[in-house]
């Protein structure tokens, strides 16, 4: 079995994230991790909060807290939400950790030794009103490429072009709104990406066939435009310090590394944190440093993060001249919109993850988001679509099937799996259908095609309903009691199958389905095609209970209440 290293883009420390952040990185990574574990693979799923930069400093100031204390509290608050969504990280670290400081500084020293870092005097935007140099993202203005009037000085959200603050038309301070800006000279370290362009091109060419088109097209666009040398330090109080043993003058000035230099290194740092927390864990470097060919590394992220992970961080890794593991597959997502507009953390537009859990259990959200993941294009969240999906797929197709099979069987045959007769033609057809759908589900999961995997899972659930309607045990029992018992026994085996294969999507509901039966300590992790075809997991006489309703149907009143609270079209 392969060893699978999985990371999702690091959520920024500032504020609870919205559903678009969840579906664009962490949730699909969790679904894939759970699936691989079920298939018997060795999996390490790593994530962390991205804690450095001006937004954290300003948020801490607003709350009257030291920035380190603010970040610690915010990290715990985010982790509580992700626990609520049942995200099964092996470790959820912090980019402000000492482990990340050490590895980031090590990378910088190695890049410098290898001739890929240069100290340069540059002219940078300074705001007299704010009394500080403004980090790139805190200069706003109009994008010179697409005309978007809220572009930041590091990147335009609209066209994804990487920018410098001085590129912006009509720039202003995002902190105070002041247009009284000056350009002053200051010294910074630059990563000489231009010297690494050819190596990055070769590396991308060797890997992009494994990537979705969205990932490869963004990487190619960057490379075609050419890699430019980029400043990797900033004038901030909060960040990974420039090491004094290498750059004493800059260290004395309090320079720190740019957040986009140290944040990707935190994938390594968080893995080291994982090992430091529990020394019994496998040596963390076996996943990253001289990792053997069995380690397959998959990253999950939204499209605006793709350039940094397909070009900039690989350039850093290549320039270090050490055998650090580089990504094999970059699974990129488009954006989930809210009624056609952007979810926005800053503008509080759309449903945020903590609010989602206040309304409904995590499985409702997990299933809807993955079944409608923005893979080939942006997708829109609407309350109407969410309500219809929950009611049709979860409540009617799956939940109702489980409840009526177990309730009817308990009423007519007692609280054990009934015997009934031998499987017949209908059961044989069902077995072939289930085996084929399971194979399709596996194929799509392994191809990281989550919407198609969800469609295959939904088809598995629907197959049970079609079988039940065909056999109609509530009528069958009047003339053929053994036949009705066979139908119900087969349907119960489907429920057990659903409990196993649905676990990556809806873990809590899957656990409730599995715990409805007591098959002598069953611990089956997955179902083979032959097992699926036979539909004979549960021995006759296995006791069962009828679980509480798995999914409550959402009413028109619910729909109106959600729209009133969060807004709609």
Q: Which residues are annotated as a binding site for Zn(2+)?
A: 143, 146, 156, 159
Instruction: Yes or no: say if 438 and 560 are a contact pair by the CB < 8 Å rule.
Output: no
Instruction: Yes or no: say if 106 and 317 are a contact pair by the CB < 8 Å rule.
Output: no
- Cα–Cα distances in angstroms (integers) from residue 380 to residues 307, 341, 372, 554, in the given order: 24, 8, 9, 19
Instruction: Yes or no: say if 92 and 82 are a contact pair by the CB < 8 Å rule.
Output: yes
Q: Rounded to 5 degrees, what are φ and ψ at 173?
A: -75, 130
- List the binding residues: 143, 146, 156, 159, 345
Question: What's the 3-state SS for 121-184?
Answer: EEEEEEECCCCEECCHHHEEEECCCCCCCCEECCECCCCCCECCHHHCEEEEECCCCCCCCEEE
Q: Name residue 70's beta-bridge partners.
A: none
Concatenated DSSP letters of 67-98:
HHHHHHHHHHHHHHHHHHTT---SEEEETTSH
Concatenated DSSP letters of 520-539:
SS-------HHHHHHT--SP
Instruction: Yes or no: say if 303 and 23 are a contact pair by the CB < 8 Å rule.
Output: no
**Numbers of helices and strands, H then E, in the chain:** 23, 17
- CB neighbourhood size of 471 (10 A): 21
Instruction: Yes or no: say if 266 and 48 are a contact pair by the CB < 8 Å rule.
Output: yes
Concatenated DSSP letters of 177-233:
-----EEEEEEEEEE-GGGGHHHHHHHHHHHGGGS-HHHHHHHHHHHHH----EE-E
Helix (H, G, I), strand (E, B) or coil at 522: coil
Concatenated DSSP letters of 13-46:
SSS--BHHHIIIIIHHHHHHHHHHHHTT-EEEEE
Helices 362-371 and 27-38: crossing angle in degrees, nearest 10, is 90
- List the binding residues for ATP: 345
258/143 Cα distance (integer angstroms): 22
Q: Name residue 118's beta-bridge partners.
A: 190
Q: Nearest to residue 527, comparing CAs of 35, 25, 66, 12?
A: 35
Instruction: Yes or no: say if 159 and 78 are a contact pair by the CB < 8 Å rule.
Output: no
Instruction: Name the residue with tokens 């098959």.
Output: 519
- CB neighbourhood size of 314 (10 A): 21
Instruction: Yes or no: say if 410 and 546 are a contact pair by the CB < 8 Å rule.
Output: yes
Instruction: Yes or no: say if 465 and 397 are a contact pair by the CB < 8 Å rule.
Output: yes
Concatenated DSSP letters of 226-269:
----EE-EES-SSSPBPPTTT-HHHHHTT-EE-HHHHHHHHHHH
The structure tokens listed for 354 are 């903590």
Q: Name residue 122's beta-bridge partners.
A: 186
């Amino acid at each position: 079995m392969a060893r699978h290293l999985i990371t999702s883009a690091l959520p920024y420390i500032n504020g609870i994230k919205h559903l678009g952040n969840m579906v664009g990185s962490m949730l699909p990574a969790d679904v894939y991790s759970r699936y691989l574990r079920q298939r018997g693979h060795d999996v390490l799923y790593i994530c962390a909060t991205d804690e450095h930069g001006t937004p954290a400093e300003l948020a801490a100031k607003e709350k009257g807290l030291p920035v380190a204390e603010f970040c610690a509290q915010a990290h715990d608050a985010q982790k509580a939400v992700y626990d609520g969504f049942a995200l099964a990280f092996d470790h959820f670290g912090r980019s402000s950790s000492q482990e990340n400081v050490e590895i980031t500084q090590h990378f910088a020293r190695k890049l410098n030794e290898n001739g890929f870092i240069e100290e340069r005097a540059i002219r940078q935007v300074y705001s007299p009103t704010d009394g500080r140099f403004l980090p790139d993202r805190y200069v706003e203005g109009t994008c010179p490429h697409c005309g978007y009037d809220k572009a930041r000085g590091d990147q335009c959200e609209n066209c994804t072009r990487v920018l410098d603050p001085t590129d912006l038309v009509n720039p202003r301070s995002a902190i105070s709104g002041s247009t009284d800006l000056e350009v002053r000279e200051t010294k910074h370290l630059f990563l000489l990406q231009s010297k690494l362009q050819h190596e990055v091109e070769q590396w991308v060419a060797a890997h992009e066939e494994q990537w979705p088109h969205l990932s490869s097209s963004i990487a190619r666009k960057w490379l075609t435009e050419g890699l430019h040398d980029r400043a990797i330090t900033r004038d901030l109080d909060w960040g990974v310090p420039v090491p004094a043993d290498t750059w004493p003058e800059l260290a004395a000035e309090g320079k720190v590394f740019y957040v986009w230099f140290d944040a990707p290194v935190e994938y390594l740092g968080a893995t080291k944190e994982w090992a430091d927390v529990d020394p019994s864990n496998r040596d963390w470097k076996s996943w990253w440093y001289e990792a053997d060919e069995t380690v397959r590394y998959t990253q999950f992220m939204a499209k605006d993060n793709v350039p940094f992970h397909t070009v900039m961080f690989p350039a850093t890794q290549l320039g270090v001249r050490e055998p650090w593991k580089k990504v094999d597959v970059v699974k990129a997502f488009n954006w989930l919109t809210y009624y056609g507009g952007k979810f926005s953390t800053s503008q509080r537009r759309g449903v945020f993850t903590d609010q989602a859990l206040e309304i409904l259990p995590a499985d409702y959200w997990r299933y809807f988001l993955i079944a409608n993941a923005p893979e080939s294009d942006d997708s829109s969240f609407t309350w109407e679509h969410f309500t219809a999906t929950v009611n049709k797929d979860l409540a009617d197709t799956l939940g109702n099937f489980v409840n009526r099979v177990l309730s009817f069987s308990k009423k007519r045959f007692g609280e054990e799996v009934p015997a009934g007769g031998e499987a017949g033609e209908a059961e044989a057809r069902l077995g072939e259908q289930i085996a084929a759908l399971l194979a399709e589900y596996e194929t799509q999961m392994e191809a990281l095609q989550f919407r198609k995997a969800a469609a295959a899972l939904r088809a598995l659930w629907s197959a049970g309903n079609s079988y039940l309607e065909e056999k109609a045990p509530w009528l069958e029992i009047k003339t053929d009691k053994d036949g009705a018992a066979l139908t119900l026994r087969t349907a119960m085996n489907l429920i057990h199958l659903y409990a196993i294969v649905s676990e990556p999507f809806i873990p809590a509901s899957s656990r409730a389905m599995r715990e409805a039966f007591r098959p002598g300590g069953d611990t089956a992790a997955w179902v083979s095609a032959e097992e699926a075809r036979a539909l004979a997991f549960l021995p006759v006489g296995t006791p069962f209970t009828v679980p509480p309703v798995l999914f409550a149907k959402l009413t028109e009143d619910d729909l109106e209440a959600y729209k009133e609270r969060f807004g709609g079209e």
